[in-house]
Amino acid sequence: MLKIVESPDAILSTMCEPCDVSDKTLKRLAKQMQHAMYKHGGCGIAAPQVGVTKRLVVIDVDWDGESRERNPIVLVNPEVVELRGEPEVGGEGCLSCPGVNVAVRRQPWACVRYLDLDGEEWEIEGDGLLGRCLQHEIDHLNGRTLFESCDPRIRLEALQAYERARAAGARPGDTSLSVGLEAEE
């Protein structure tokens, strides 16, 4: 089982290298990432969150954390093609920043181009949770954590809440402390 890398580990600030789709270890890594994501109740995970600096993401925004039905999408070398809409504030948790749910402003719709594990090119587009998850996970590939993505005005409060959550024993998947959301309502 892969271990979730937690902030402030330096690997989370690393710009990830493109994957070679002929690399036979990618399928195994994607399966291990899925397992880690589901185990911790996440809807997305990027390779640096498990200590691998490759441009690989797994998402499943349809999984509710309880059902057996899973529909993971593996994105190899994903790149944002287009973002649309007036930015909206929404709460985001992160497996690498356990214990906090932080207000992050993002455009609601995203279109992302990627390769599947067989090297075929695809585009995925979505709004709501899917649009937000795509942007969040690609941020990880570009060395940005939840804390760099949130408004600078709430960053200090978010980091302090994260330290309190860690001291209290927060584990990946826990988002018990909300930061910056009440001010946006």
Q: Which residues are catalytic?
A: 137
The 8-class DSSP code of residue 54 comes to B
* Sole residue written with tokens 């997305």: 44
Closest of 68, 51, 75 to residue 137, by C-alpha: 75
| Paired tokens of 117 | 């594990």
Tokens 């059902």 sit on residue: 67
Tokens of 23: 């690399």
Distance between CA atoms of 65 and 58, rounded to whole angstroms? 15
Q: 10 Å Cβ neighbour count for 101?
A: 22
As a whole number of angstroms, the distance between CA 25 and CA 117 comes to: 10
Which helix (H) or strand (E) is 135 found in, with range?
helix 128-141
State the burial class of residue 142 (Cβ atoms within 10 Å of its Cβ: 0-12, 13-18, 19+). Answer: middle
